[in-house]
Amino acid sequence: MRQLSYVHGTGGTPLLGDTIGRNLGRAVDAFPEREALVDVPSGRRWTYAEFGAAVDELAKALLGSGVAKGDRVGIWAINCPEWVLVQYATARIGAIMVNINPAYRAHELAYVLDQAGISLLIASLVHKTSDYRALVGQVRGRCPALRAVHYIGDPSWDELLAAAGGVGDAELAAREAELSCDDPVNIQYTSGTTGFPKGATLSHHNILNNGYFVGEMIGYTEQDRVCLPVPFYHCFGMVMGNLGAISHGACIVIPAPSFDPAATLRAVAEERCTSLYGVPTMFIAELNLPDFATYELSSLRTGIMAGSPCPVEVMKRVVAEMNMAEVSICYGMTETSPVSTQTRRDDDLERRTGTVGRALPHIEVKVVDPVTGVTLPRGEAGELCTRGYGVMLGYWDEPAKTAEVIDAGRWMHTGDLAVIREDGYAQIVGRIKDMIIRGGENVYPREIEEFLYSHPKVADVQVVGVPDERYGEEILACVIPRDPADPPTLDDIAGYCRDELAHYKIPRRLEILEGFPMTVSGKVRKVELRERYA
């Protein structure tokens, strides 16, 4: 009888029962003189003792400003030390921090402020073309719950901190004593492909444990220094990065307010970072810098690559040229805090590029028939579902939408098509909504993309289905050429595929592009490609 596609991640380390604030307190007590946070752009540094004191000051300021347990505090800011302070200060007093994408404009900002019922907003002053104060002014009348706004680097920030003066240690301790690790602590808005995004509501238990176990898998200790060019408003930065580091007594290094490949490598070299995070496009940008070879990266040991599949050649260069021999691939989604599967430090190249690892400790993963819900045998493609401590509490104030993705058994239905191999490692073969049905045959774009990465004229490729009168859907390959002056033709692509792929998987259409439409977290917006070329 064939083994089923069900895996339970085991391990000898128990789950943490702390709130995020108590976990920080343990790190401060254990490592008071070690560095906790470094902001390279401003040159500011905090030891754990100093960081703990700064968190306490901001927590008292929020208490003094009338923030109650369960109140929503918005953070609409670029990567900066104050972002991390807000993350920990809100957790200490039982407020629910709401992450707001720095790229949002007025319409999106108003929706999140209103849907989450944000009463206090902390924001940057400006970022790129966004004047945050002006945007808040445009929407404030539409958000009745919003009573106060404070801007980082502005007198209003100092006014907020001044409110700490009327709050004593006993009041802060009393508030913290009321908190449970199962309380909601964070709302993150997922980038919905249709309609407005949904607010995934996450508890202390969800995200503290996820950050901790992601760090465990790559061997974090207090000796590590973690360079984070990924955005804090996303789980990659604030959970896998900030919580992963602090829960091990490691140091967070902020290289720049937003991703800059040169600033990232400079920070790694100057701060002797041992770990570096990024989506594959970030690592590609770093490796392609004209002066890449001049950066001293010998301190690197590990890091995390997530967000989208990593091409084999990129992984080889990251390991060989960036000294990241223990780099790890993570898979997950905001609704699962985020990581469900992860490669291990000693996994070979095939597992790091051909799979998304195996289940984290205390996480269950299965692959089911998308129609019947029955668990499939190993090796068969179906919908990936995950269950365990990481599954969100639900979408904020949207029980019906929550019920659409979390079933009665508390399984989170990811919408991803996956295969669990005989060795227990998972492969993502696409999204259910990305699957192409051509003439009755199911086609998984990921398989074709992985093959076309090896074409000598292809630098990057995305495969989507577009409407076709005869077959229902036809296969379109969107290609970024290695040499824009010598792009591949459709005959080149079809001929390359002919002896290696079944005839129904061969692209019948080709578009040559300079770049792909991307989400701010580094994922290609396939829905936009489909709409553009339908």
Residue 504 has pLDDT above 90, yes or no: no
Query: What are the beta bridge partners of residue 75?
Result: 99, 122
The DSSP call for residue 68 is P
Backbone φ/ψ region at 152: left (φ over 0), alpha (ψ -120 to 50), beta: beta
| pLDDT average, residue stretch 205-234 | 98
Residue at 459: amino acid letter: A
Q: Given the DSSP bridges, would you call strands 363-368 and 6-8 parallel, antiparallel or unpaired?
A: antiparallel
Q: Parse the chain into domains and list their residue ranges.
A: 19-363+381-418, 434-533
Give backbone dihedrals phi and psi of 186, rounded to 5 degrees, phi first: -155, 140
| pLDDT surpasses 70 at 227 | yes
The rounded distance, in Å, linking the Cα atoms of 347 and 328 is: 9
Q: From CA 320, how far away is CA 30, in angstroms rounded?
A: 35
Asked whether 34 and 48 are in contact (CB, 8 A), the reply is yes
- What whole-number distance in Å separates Cα of residue 335 and Cα of residue 388? 12
- What pLDDT band is residue 521 in, cutting at 50, 70 and 90? low
Residue 369 has pLDDT above 90, yes or no: yes
* Whether CATH 3.20.10.10 fits 19-363+381-418: no
The distance of Cα 342 from the centroid of its chain, to the nearest Å, equals 13
Question: Cβ distance 492 to 427 under 8 Å?
Answer: no
Q: What's the CA angle centered on 22, arms 18 and 28, to 5 degrees?
A: 130
pLDDT surpasses 80 at 191: no
pLDDT at 501 (0 to 100): 87
pLDDT band at 520 (very low <50, low <70, confident <90, very high): low
- Checking if the pLDDT of 400 tops 80, the result is yes
Given a cut of 60, whether residue 102 has pLDDT beyond it is yes
Over its C-alpha atoms, the chain yields an Rg (Å, rounded) of 23
Q: What is the pLDDT of residue 226?
A: 99
Please give the structure tokens belonging to residue 407: 């079933």
Helix (H, G, I), strand (E, B) or coil at 198: coil
Residue 196 has pLDDT above 80, yes or no: no
Please calculate the CA angle 210-216-221 and round it to the nearest 5 degrees: 120
pLDDT tens-digit readout, 459-486: 999 999 999 888 889 999 999 999 999 9
pLDDT at res. 499:
85
Angle subtended by helix axes 20-30 and 204-217, to nearest 10: 40
Q: What residues form DSSP beta bridges with 276?
A: 227, 303
β-bridge pairing 199-203 and 130-131: unpaired
147 to each of 98, 119, 217, how far by Cα in Å?
A: 15, 5, 42
Segments in 437-486 forming alpha helices (H): 445-452
Tokens of 365: 């993963």
| Residue 193: predicted pLDDT | 41
| Residue 117: predicted pLDDT | 98
Per the structure block, which two tokens stand in for 441? 């045959």
Average pLDDT over residues 266-275: 98
Q: What is the pLDDT of residue 41?
A: 98
Whether 492 shows a pLDDT value over 70: the answer reads yes
Q: Are 351 and 358 contacting, i.e. CB atoms less than 8 angstroms apart?
A: no
Please provide residue 123's backbone torsions phi and psi, each rounded to the nearest 5 degrees: -140, 155
Report d(CA 429, CA 246) in Å as an integer: 34
Is the predicted pLDDT of residue 519 greater than 80, yes or no? Answer: no
Average pLDDT over residues 298-313: 90
At 194 the pLDDT is 45
Q: Which residue has the tokens 């347990």?
A: 69
Checking if the pLDDT of 192 tops 70, the result is no
Adjacent-strand bridge partners of 98 = 74, 187
The predicted model scores a pTM of: 0.89
CA–CA separation, 232 and 229 (whole Å): 9
Q: State the SS3 of 365-412.
A: EEEECCCCCCECECCCCEEEEEEECCCCCEECCCHHHHHHHECCCCCE
Task: Classify 84 as helix, strand or coil.
Answer: helix
Least confident of 120-124, 169-173, 520-524: 520-524
What percent of the chain lies above the pLDDT cut of 70? 99
Nearest Cα to Cα of residue 250 among 213, 228, 225:
225
DSSP 13: S
* pLDDT above 70 for 423: yes
Separation of alpha carbons 137 and 211, rounded Å = 36
Q: 10 — phi, psi (to 5°)?
A: -110, 160
Query: pLDDT higher for 518 or 156?
Result: 156
Top CATH class, 434-533: alpha beta
Report the pLDDT value the prediction gives residue 469, as an integer from 0 to 100.
Answer: 84
C-alpha to C-alpha distance for 444 and 463, rounded to whole angstroms: 9
What separation in angstroms does the CA of 133 have from each of 85, 136, 149? Answer: 21, 5, 9
